Amino acid sequence: MGVVDVIGRGLADGAAMFWQTLWALVLGFGLSGAVQAFASRAELQRALGDHRAASIARDGLFGAVSSSCSYAASALAKTLFARGADFTAAQAFMFASTNLVLELGIVSWLLIGWQFAAAEFIGGALMIALLALVLPRAVPSAEQEAARKALPGTGQGHGGHGQAQPRHAAGPWRTRLRSPAGWADAAGYAISDLTMVRREVLFGFAHAISSLRCAGGTAAPSRRRHISCGTEVFAAADAGRPGTIACRVP
């Protein structure tokens, strides 16, 4: 098989894989942008007011559909804590943002099976549950308040990954939902999130394709043989490194 043929097949596999997962990426980043645009910080702060079981579950849901960028998640959690949110709830929100990533869970389901997506969400939920049990006992309230007073009330991230100031006017979320500027903000947040992780996502696709090609397989199962793949972490955008893909041909 010539080099040109290998490159051509690799590009074809990459295009097919990207097309198969495009809707999942659009859905995940779209939901992330909508939450950031339509749920104000004051509303999120009220939702993060304590660390009861119901509140932690709600915080995990907000985090899962919020920004998957580690810098943006930590910046928002710090801002919420500085403005009066419960420390444990803010940490649960941040952990959910980076460990219950909706878009990567859907992509994992599509590409490598539901077992891996289930492992991500179940493992992330267990991690947050342990955090909710241990953190209030490990960090006394006095230390939490001292840390809160030492924090500035801003949400500046790292390397320009902080939360951008919304352009829409303040008001109830129903009003913002009907505002064209609110939807423009949602689209801007979604594009910003995708831009922040574009290199990691592209590198993950390239690594997955190259691993499949080196193993003699293709990105999609064929009639002659079935390719089953397992992965430790698929395109781990938050960790900044790709997963290890191992293929076997029965």
Identify residue 17 by its one-letter amino acid code: M
Report CA-CA distances (Å) from 82 to 89, 149, 250: 13, 7, 55
Q: Supply the pLDDT for residue 158.
A: 44
Residue 109 inside a domain? The answer is: yes
Domain of 176, in residue numbers: 14-197
Q: Supply the pLDDT for residue 130.
A: 92
Q: Supply the pLDDT for residue 249.
A: 35
Residue 240 inside a domain? The answer is: no
Residue 218 inside a domain? The answer is: no
Identify residue 64 by its one-letter amino acid code: A
Q: What's the total number of domains in the chain?
A: 1
Residue 175 inside a domain? The answer is: yes
Q: For 217-250, what is each residue's pLDDT tens digit?
A: 444 443 333 333 333 333 333 334 444 334 333 3
3-state secondary structure of 229: strand
Residue 249 inside a domain? The answer is: no
Angle between helices 53-64 and 87-99 in degrees, nearest 10: 40
Residue 187 inside a domain? The answer is: yes
Task: Give the pTM.
Answer: 0.51
Task: At 40, list the tokens.
Answer: 């104000």
Q: Which residues in the chain land under pLDDT 50?
A: 153-166, 169, 217-250
Q: Supply the pLDDT for residue 195.
A: 78
Q: Supply the pLDDT for residue 156.
A: 44
Residue 245 inside a domain? The answer is: no
Residue 229 inside a domain? The answer is: no
Report CA-CA distances (Å) from 27 to 102, 107, 136, 144, 190: 9, 11, 35, 36, 10
| Rg (the chain; Cα; Å) | 20
Q: Supply the pLDDT for residue 24.
A: 65
